[in-house]
Amino acid sequence: MAKRANGKAKSGHGPAPKAAGPAIDYRTIEVVGDGRGTMQGDYLLNKDRPMDKIRWLIECFPEWGQFLNNQIEKAKVPKGNYSFWWTGGMGFVLKSPGGAVLLVDNYAGPAHYTEYAYCGVCRTTGSPTIDWMRLNPQVIDIFGFKTLDGVFCSHQHADHTDIYTLKAATQTSKALFYGPLSAVERMRNFQVPEERIRVVRPGQKYKIKDVAVEILPNFDRIATMTGGPGVKVGPGVRRPFDDVAATFFFKIGGYNFCHLADSLFQNAYVTFKKHKIDVLSVNIGYNAPGGTDKMTPYDAVRMAEAVGTKVLMPMHWDNWGNTTVDPEEVNWIAKRHVPDLKVIIPQWGVQWLFPLEKDLGKMTFDDWRDRYRPEMSWEYGEPAKQAAAKRGEFIPY
């Protein structure tokens, strides 16, 4: 490679760079459409406009625009039910009949890597570093909530106590922030106002509009080996469970939802039977030999049986390339070992009503067939008939 006079390599010859395009006023950029939250196809296909990386990010991220935000805001939850939307990983939104909107363990961040110096999974496996390649789309605009009453972080890991979610909710809402000490340490580090923080421990209870929240123990072993701002752990020296992780037990719409977050299976969860759990959310994933970061599908079914839940919702199988697994394995195992257990497989951004849709099995994306107008079809409707008549042909063509 040729070198400049200063000895540094130069990139070689090529066409001269084009002159910079017209300046873009980013303050005026908005998603062009009819208000549903996603971009109009005609604008996407046919409207030329100045483009740079920032405009690309503004127009294309999050991938769902504010579609889901709009749906959550407009949703009317029937009395005796609650609504659930999965945002990927262990993240979700709950909405009550009284209009409370709760955001739980949401992750709005990118693929990233972690290192042995601070990562619990690296310390478990001895790996110097692990790449966490994000697979799931960003379906929620964290700056787009019109109503947000509570933000819940089950433990201190980046995909649960997420800087982007915390910063957005701090700026755009009056929501309170709930988490164990490990999560609160990061909240404080990310400048969440102290008066809006609630440090939770087992036995505490909170009320948010018509939702009651009870804090239960959580046995997240990986979290006990993860450090935090000003906190050091070492081999044989772990942080107490109650300091690092919390189980959120939401009493909402006359039923309950128990969120175990990233906990692995632990025999002590059999004590949860007294809570008469309606829906249990757990993590599942694939674990390479030498480290256990997620529960296996067998663990998940065993956990459901231990706590006595009626409905099991496996999550976290979707978002990291190194731990992804087929959630249908949970169904396969449950049918053989706990046939009365209902398994709900979530889909990103799909609204689920409980108990109205308790027998759904697997959430599905809307195919919009209710908008179809057969009489207007160019293939078999009136336009096709008229065109065929002019040509003297039959339809469909």
pLDDT of residue 232: 73
**E strands present in 290-331:** 311-315
Question: Contact 93/72 with Cβ under 8 angstroms?
Answer: yes
CA distance 190 to 133: 24
Has residue 9 got a pLDDT over 60?
A: no
Over the chain, what is the mean pLDDT? 93
Q: In what order do the strands lie in the sheet with 82-88?
A: 197-199, 176-179, 150-152, 101-104, 91-95, 82-88, 351-354
Question: Contact 354/383 with Cβ under 8 angstroms?
Answer: no
- For 279, residues 6+ apart whose C-beta sits below 8 A from its C-beta are 255, 256, 257, 258, 309, 310, 311, 312, 313, 344, 354
Has residue 93 got a pLDDT over 60?
A: yes
Degrees to nearest 5, angle at CA 133 with 132 and 138: 115
Has residue 261 got a pLDDT over 60?
A: yes
Q: Look up the pTM and report it.
A: 0.92
Per residue in 310-365, pLDDT (tens digit) is: 999 999 999 999 999 999 999 999 999 999 999 999 999 999 999 999 999 999 99
List the domain boundaries for the chain.
67-354, 373-397
pLDDT of residue 234: 78
pLDDT of residue 246: 98
CA 171 to chain centre: 20
Helices 163-172 and 181-189, interaxial angle, to 10°? 70
Question: Contact 215/249 with Cβ under 8 angstroms?
Answer: yes
Q: Report the topology of domain 67-354.
A: Metallo-beta-lactamase; Chain A (3.60.15)
The DSSP secondary structure of 343-381, one letter per residue, reads: E-B--BT-EEEETTTTT--B------GGG--GGG-TTTS
